[in-house]
Amino acid sequence: MNALLAATLLNMALIATVVILHYDFLIRASDIIPRLCRHHRPRILLGVLAALVAHSVEIWIFGLGYWFMHHSEDFGHLQGNFDGSLLDAAYFSFTTYSTLGFGDIEPIGLLRYTAGMEALTGLVLITWSASFLYVEMQRYWDER
């Protein structure tokens, strides 16, 4: 299979996985949180914690993708302050997902495409979480 096609399919799989996971986290949070808490403040705090857990899991999923692609011959590599470990791949994923930007690790080859797609996906999912939390705050604001 062509390396570009393989990278595109892998990127689509990564993005689909994290978007579905994020949706599931938000749906479950909106169902469970009102049953757990009667008061406004704990509901919002649990919503924030659920969003942070979701983003952390999503970052690690992309990190696994980078680690796999780095150790394959066809996708390029990560260079700089990178020792090839899963932890370094997750760190790179965190800086990319949060759109903090490249610093001490940079993608080479087809991994640049994955990094761009992760940054776009992270931006959308972070915004989605912020919208979710805003709606939850509006829903329960009068109960304070």
Question: Rounded distance, CA 67 to CA 1, Å?
Answer: 20
- Kindly list the domain boundaries of the chain, sorted by start residue: 3-143
Tell me: the pLDDT tens digits for 10-39?
A: 999 999 999 999 999 999 988 888 888 777
Give the global pTM: 0.92
- H helix intervals, 37-85: 40-70
Helix/strand/coil for 106: strand
Tell me: the pLDDT tens digits for 85-108?
A: 999 999 999 999 998 876 799 999
The domain 3-143 is placed in CATH, from the list 3.90.1150.10, 1.10.287.70, 3.40.50.700, 1.10.10.60, at 1.10.287.70
Specify whether the CB–CB gap between 19 and 121 falls below 8 A.
yes
Closest-CA residue to 99 (of 135, 53, 55): 55
